[in-house]
Structures are given as C-alpha cells and as structure tokens.
Structure 1
C-alpha cells in the first residue's frame, strides 16, 4: 500500500508569494509542502524585469510596497539587490500634470518621492534626453535579479526544512475531511490548501468549483548587449509604459508592461514585435545613445489580475480551509511581504495590514 504524505498545508505555486507564505506558516509550527508545476520561481517571479520602484506602485498598495522593499533590501546580494534611486520622466505638459498628481499622492502615502529640476536630473543622469518636462526621484528605488528568485527560495525552504516538489502539476483536488491532491508525482493529503499559482489560479480554483475572475497579461521584457554606462538609476516614464535600468555587467533591461501573445494554458507566451518596437522607441527617446545598442533577447511573463487590479489575498470563497493569494500588481516588490501577511492569516493571527477579500464585489471602485 502506497503511503500518502500528509501536511498541515499544501501550497500550490512556488513563486515569491507561495514560498514566503510557506516560510511564515512553518515559523508558526505548521508542516507545509510547496508544489510547482515547473521549477520554483520560474513563473512571473523569475521572468520579470526585477524593478523595485515605489514610484510605479498604486497608492493603496504603497504601505505593502514599502515593507516589501525593506525585505528585498534585507535579502541583499543573495537576490542581486541594488538600491540605485530612480527617476520618472514626463516629456510633455500632459504627462507632467499626470506625474505631479500621481507622485504627490504616492508621497502622501509614505513613499519618499520628490520632484527634481532639470539641472539636477542632468547632473545625475547626463545621458538622458534634453526633452524632459518634469521628473520625480525616489532614493529607495532599485532592482533585484529576478532570475535568482528560485535559487534563493529553494535555499530558504531547504534551510527551514520545508518540503517542496518541482515539476509537480496538480491535476485534481478532492475536498472531504481535508484535501487530497492528485499530482503528476503522486498524491498528497493536507488539512489546508493555498492557491498561489499566479496566472494559473483560475483553473486551479475551478478544481474546487470556484470561479475566480482572473485574467492574465503577457508582459514583455528586453535586454541589450553589454554597453558603456548610460544610466546609474532606474528610469521610468509617467505613463508607466517604460522601466529601464543598466545592470553592473553593462546590459540594459527594458520593460513597461507592453503585451506579448498567448495564454497561461497554452504554455509560455510569445513576443509580439509590434509591442516591442514602441517599448524600445520610448527607451531610446529617454536615452538617445541606446540607438547604438543591440537588443539580444526579448521574453514574456504572465501577470495575473482581477477586474479591480487589487490582490486576491484571503479565504477562498465557499471552501473551508482553502486560501488564495495572487494577482498583485507590482507583485515582485510586494510579494515577500504579502506572503508573510497571508501566513499570519492562515495561522489565525491578525495580519499587520489588511488582506484583500477574494470574495469581494469586483464591480465596486475600491480606490
């Protein structure tokens, strides 16, 4: 008779949020297992541009981003953390008005954002275009190396004695006196289950007869060849359609949420050249010398969202002892912290900051 391992909680999804939750519940005495259909940290957690900018976070999520940013700083070299500061640029009067309005609200929410003169901007970043109408600066902005996500959390789980399985796709979830998970590597029993699988949340929740209104964006990132230093800070645009930073090895990472093609159910997304071109054109407008740099690779990653673009974080509606965590805009920055909050919630503690009820009315404006 085959033995079926049993845990206090099974966490489906081995990205930042799932792993951070596992570490938190384990600290509270729960036995946990993390399951991922691929390798840990290889979904959205591992293919994004790694930008850790407070200037591009939503006002309501700023307290979460500030605490998440602090956790990334504590991780340090293990995740390639670098605090460079960051500038967000406006190129015309309409963009300048937008920048003023948005960044003022974010500063009021606690982000150390200030507006800077063109002279100060050019002194700090001499390779930027001269056609800047307005700019804001945040000294806390920076980046980490998202490709190190899986390696980092694999080590953390191992050190904490938390079980994990990679290449383990969950194909069925039975719910009677706990949960029986059928996976491609065998069955697992758990008293509780957390769905933390990002863009794959919708089909997973359907296994428990719950319809989550989850959609997926197909964000594109590009990287250049190694070039001489053109920027020392994270550079963004008032519209949010550009994030850019130059790594220590000279390569420049360019993102901004431009959309590729495909769906999570079909596997990895594909790059859409019609979206990459304007992304690169905006980057070149901001830093004209990029015209001489060759792009060596572009890739995509799925970012899950719900209609109001706030997180799903809490109890899965209608299923006792089941939870869901995901759909966080800016999830790379916020992920380590909201995972801790989720862990506290599962442990029966009062989270430091409120979670986001997955059973809420998504048609209401929650701004």
Structure 2
C-alpha cells in the first residue's frame, strides 16, 4: 500500500463524478477524483446541455425538478456561471400517432410533477412563432432550458481545485480490489488506497464492475449532434418532437444545436466514435421540418459522444452489493438534466446519511457472470 490514502476515490470525471467529489470534499472527506481524459470532456462535454422535462422519463421527473433548481442557482453552490438559459420547451406533434404519444407521455410526466400541458397549434405558434404551422398540437413545459457544456466543465474544474479535491486528469485506473478497510486502486504511478470508492465512468461502468467479478450490462449509445453557423434569432424555446428524435435550441450568440439521439457509429472497447451521413441527413431534415427557417443555415460542425443506458433505462445509482463502501453512479437517461441532484443524493449515502430521494440500486441489473453480452457494438474500422 502506498502513502496515497483517501476517504473517497471517485473514478470518472463527468459531472456526476465531479459533483460527488465536490460535495464529499466540502463535507469534510479527503477526496481524489481520477479521470482517464480531461475533466467533463466525455459524455458530459459533448452533449447538447439540454435541461428538459419533456425528454426525462416519468420516474425521474422528481429528480429533474430538483436538479433544474440547482442548475439555475449554479453560481451560488458551484461558484461559477455555467451559461444556463431557462426557457419554455415545446414537443411537437405532426401526426395523429404523435398526438397520442404526447398525450400519454404528458399525462405520465404531469402526474410525476412536471408542469407539462397539451396546447393547440395556435397556442404553440404564439409561444414559438418559428415552428412549422402544420403541427397538429404540442406539449408545453414552462421550465425547460439548457446549459453550456463547455462552461460547465470549466466551472467544475475550478470548484474542485478550489475546494481541495485532488483532481488527477489523464490518470486511468486499471483495477480496484478490496484491501484492508477499503480498496486499492491501480493507477500508472502505483496504488491509491481509499476507504470508499465511487464508480462514475458512464459507459465504462460495466468494465469497472467487471474488475470485481460483477456483470451489469450497459448499452453504449453513440449520440450524434450538429451545430449551425450563427444566425439571426430563429427560436426562443427548446423544441423537440413527440418521437423524441429531435432537440433544438439556439444559443444567445446565434448558433443552433441540433440533436435528439440520432446514432453514429462507435465502440466502447476501442474508445472511438464517428458520425454517419444517414443520421446527419435525417436529423437535419427533421430540424428543418420543425423550424423551416433553419433551411437557410449551414451546419459547421458534427460530432458524436457516448451515452450509457441500462437494460431498464433507469439509472445505476447506489451501493455495489457485497462490497461495503463501494458505490456506482451513472447511466441516467437524459442524465445531464438530473446529474447535480443525483450526485448530491448519492453523496448523502456515502456520508452515511439518508438520501433526500431514493437511489436506484444495481441489484436489479446484475446478470450471471457467464451471461452473454446483451448489446453488440459497431467498431470504427
């Protein structure tokens, strides 16, 4: 055992891992945060930064509502601005089937506490004049919005270093094993010992748990996004469609980010991902159908990034069965919205407190050690 000893080691520097490290350090623990790349430059850095109730599963709405409040107050608890814009959100229906989707999902999310209401086409056009007038109806949420993912990464970096967290970027962990009253972590320059460990590696949670002989299948999504050149104001809301395959927002400086879960190609094992022509064209067509004025804009950049998803599409947040002091946090659908609050809840458990809201233990996800992988990935060859 080396002299590097901590109360808590967090493996994975996305905004969930960064949040856990920050909250735990401020609570008095000695914390090290280990990230294989730069902080918040994986899934937390390449996503669109959408803060939405419209795309959040009903079971996660209570967490998203709490997190939305945290995002709006980021300068107070994080200490830095993250470029949050609070605005209305619209999800559009162009067909009868999409109307039914909005009604079903709106009812479920409204029952969970989200301020989502179904509105007519004319009402939607008053809120967002730039949308396609051919819509049949829309669902409206008054508390959607977005953050700037790049600024968020910078803010967490400053907050972590300012609070005294031992932040180690470009430091991959190759294994974790029980040792004494805690765990030994293998890093390039030796061994780090920590009383408790939080695995917050996104799509890499599956191989992390495999270090300990546990199999939790994690699906690797390769989400594709695009951004346009700067344009005159085209929209003032977050716009999606009932199918969920579109997310549009225009930043204050004029660029429009186009997302919605269109898939690129990639492999977790090879740590590579790339865009596809088919997804680029499909996403752009849907975007210009929703906001016709976008047809006059040019796309200047396309990129991809990994997103993790469990078998039941609910998060993996809680203790690791059979390993006292070992925790996992990640794989939340539309996880960017809920991340700060979920990190706070898990930190409460790490500190021995009762979390403000229930966690999502992984017992339900454990598979047999000899089970075949549930998901197949496409490589980048």
Q: TM-score range by the shorter chain?
A: over 0.9
Unpaired runs of 5+ in structure 2? 368-381
> What are the equivalent positions in structure 2 for 1:142-291 lying under 5 Å apart?
142-177=145-180, 178-291=182-295
**Aligned-partner SS, 2:90:** strand
Aligned to 1:319: 323
Aligned to 2:378: none
Name the CA distance, whole Å, in 2 between partners of 1:329 and 1:9.
26
**Any conservation in 2 of the 1:125–1:231 contact (CA below 8 Å)?**
yes
Moved more, 234-243 or 206-215: 206-215
**Alpha-carbon shift at residue 55 of structure 1 (Å):** 1.2
**Any conservation in 1 of the 2:311–2:365 contact (CA below 8 Å)?**
no
TM-score by length of 1: 0.95
1:104 and 2:107 aligned: yes
Name the CA distance, whole Å, in 2 between partners of 1:277 and 1:120.
30
TM-score by length of 2: 0.92
Name the CA distance, whole Å, in 2 between partners of 1:202 and 1:110.
32
For 1:99-128, what per-residue CA distance to the aligned partner results, in whole angstroms no more than 9, with x for missing partners? 011112211211111222222222232221
**Aligned-partner SS, 2:245:** coil
Unpaired runs of 5+ in structure 1? none
Moved more, 175-184 or 243-252: 175-184
**Any conservation in 1 of the 2:82–2:152 contact (CA below 8 Å)?**
yes
Name the CA distance, whole Å, in 1 between partners of 2:349 and 2:116.
31
1:139 to 129, 138, 142: 142
Name the CA distance, whole Å, in 2 between partners of 1:361 and 1:155.
35
Aligned to 1:359: 363
**Any conservation in 2 of the 1:8–1:31 contact (CA below 8 Å)?**
yes
Name the CA distance, whole Å, in 1 between partners of 2:315 and 2:12.
16
**Alpha-carbon shift at residue 182 of structure 1 (Å):** 1.4
For 1:168-222, what per-residue CA distance to the aligned partner results, in whole angstroms no more than 9, with x for missing partners? 0001223221211111244211111110010111111112222121121011111
Give the RMSD, CA atoms, in angstroms. Answer: 1.5
Name the CA distance, whole Å, in 2 between partners of 1:307 and 1:253.
28
1:95 and 2:98 aligned: yes
Where does structure 1 differ by over 3 angstroms across 4 or more consecutive aligned residues?
A: none
**Any conservation in 2 of the 1:39–1:150 contact (CA below 8 Å)?**
no
Name the CA distance, whole Å, in 2 between partners of 1:204 and 1:211.
9
